[in-house]
Amino acid sequence: WTTEAGYGAVAFDGTVWIDEGAVVRYGLTEDQVVQATAEARAKVERRMAILRGGRALPGLADRTVIVVDDGIAAGSTLRTAIAAVRRHAPGEVVVAVPTAHDHALRSISGVADAVYCANVRSGLMFAVADAYEEWRDLSDDEVARVLADSAARRRAP
C-alpha cells in the first residue's frame, strides 16, 4: 500500500531484515512477506548487476563507511544496509540523511556509530517525499549514468 510504511528490506549482500511487529500491525501473511522478500531480493540483485557493472565491492574493513539515503521514514532500508555493511567489519558506520522522522532516527541512531540529519520531523504520518519541494524517483539507467560520469571524472587527469 505504501513503500514508506516499510516492514523490512533486503540489502546489497542479501541481508534481510523483517520488522515482525510491523508485519503484525499491517496484517501481512507469511506468504505475502516471503513473496515481497523474493521480489525485493530480485530487484536488489538486478540493481547490483546494473550499478556495480561486475565490479567487486570495495574493501570496507577498518574503514569509515558513510551510508547515505534520501531520508528515513520507517528505517527499514537503512537498518538493513547498516547490518550488511557491518558484516564487512568497518571501523565505523556513519549515516547521513537530509530528513527523517524522529522515531526512525532514534532507532537508526541505535545501530549506527553516528547519524547526521538536517531536518527532523515528527507526527503520526511521515513520508520522505514530504520534505522535498520536488520529488521523483531516479531510474536505474539515470543512476548508472551518474555513477559512470563520476567514475570518469575520478580517472581524468
Residue 74 has pLDDT above 90, yes or no: no
Relative to beta strand 8-10, strand 16-18 is: antiparallel
Band of residue 4 on the pLDDT scale cut at 50, 70, 90? low
Mean residue pLDDT of the chain comes to: 90
Band of residue 24 on the pLDDT scale cut at 50, 70, 90? very high
Q: 79-116 b/e with 16+ CB inside 10 Å = b?
A: bbbbbbbeebebeebebebbbbbebbbebbeeebeebe
Cα-based angle 106, 109, 111 (whole degrees, multiple of 5): 125
Residue 138: Cβ within 10 Å count: 11
Q: Which three cell numbers stand for residue 152?
A: 570518469
Considering only 1-10, 58-67, 107-116, 135-144, which range has the smallest mean pLDDT?
1-10
Condensed to tens digits (0 to 9), the pLDDT of residues 47-71 reads: 999 888 888 889 999 999 999 999 9
- Scan for cell 541505535, then name that residue: 110
Contacts 24+ apart (CB under 8 A), 13-18: 13/57, 13/84, 13/87, 14/41, 14/44, 15/80, 15/83, 15/84, 15/87, 16/41, 16/80, 17/76, 17/79, 17/80, 17/83
The confidence score (pLDDT) of residue 1 equals: 46
The confidence score (pLDDT) of residue 5 equals: 60
Q: DSSP letter at 6? A: -
Residue 150 has pLDDT above 50, yes or no: yes
Percent of the chain with pLDDT over 70: 97
Determine the residue type at 91. G
Residue 135 has pLDDT above 90, yes or no: no
